[in-house]
Amino acid sequence: MYLSKFESSGLILPRLDNPARYSRFQQYMDTKMLLMMFVSRLAEQISPDDVLINVCNPGMTAGTGLGKDVKNPGFAARFFIPLFVKTVGRSVGAGASVYIHALITEGRKRHGSFISDWTIKPYPRLMYTQKGQSMRERLWQETMEELHFASDSGFADLFASGREKFVNNQN
């Protein structure tokens, strides 16, 4: 997450789709950072009275199957990494408890936060810079364009319409 070096002055999503740029570990770090950017922006759009939105990091968790779909794994991917994860990683229950902590313990007051190791952590440094804020806004706009098919007005309208229908059905 914090190791990501992803910086883009142009379009973000096409860069992720570029097979020439793909490296499994780098893509993992980059998409984690972009997830943080997107979710922090999404949390600004949605009231915590409607939905609590946070980025949760369960930490290295053994038993999840992460990496099992790797084609032609090398020696390290077949033997060393699984042994390391099994030895050092958290149980699935412990990893899941980070999500429960985010909802129950942190609640509304921490809406839009990054939660890891059962505590609020700062977002990556890039997100606090002008460059990072610009990238976050471009990611938001690109994603809204991608989701436009779901509603003539886009994602924001789709959510508002769903909430309005829910409220009307309660009366």
Tens-place pLDDT, residues 85-101? 788 888 989 999 998 88
The answer to whether position 113 is within a domain reads yes
* 2 found inside a domain: no
Contact 36, 159 (CB under 8 A): no
Does 59 map to a domain? yes
Mean pLDDT of the chain: 81
Active-site option among 2, 22, 28, 121: 28
Active site residue 28: yes
Note down the domain range covering 125.
Answer: 13-170
CA 30 – CA 1 distance, rounded (Å): 7
Reduced to 3 states, what is the DSSP secondary structure of residue 121? strand
Mean pLDDT of 153-161: 57
Element (H or E) spanning 45, and its range? helix 24-45
Kindly state the DSSP code that residue 28 receives in the 8-state scheme.
Answer: H
Choose, from 2, 5, 22, 32, the residue flagged as catalytic: 32
Q: Report which of 98, 100, 103, 104 is spatially closest to residue 119, judged by C-alpha positions.
A: 98
Q: Is the pTM of this model over 0.75?
A: yes
- Active-site annotation holds for 2: no
Q: Which of 58-67, 71-80, 152-161 has the highest mean pLDDT?
A: 58-67
5 lies in a domain? no
* Rounded Cα distance, 126 and 75, in Å: 35
The answer to whether 24 touches 65, Cβ cutoff 8 Å, is no
CB 130 within 8 A of CB 71: no
Residue 18 lies in a domain: yes
4 inside domain: no
Residue 7 in any domain: the answer is no
Q: Would you say residue 31 lies in a domain?
A: yes
Domain count across the chain: 1
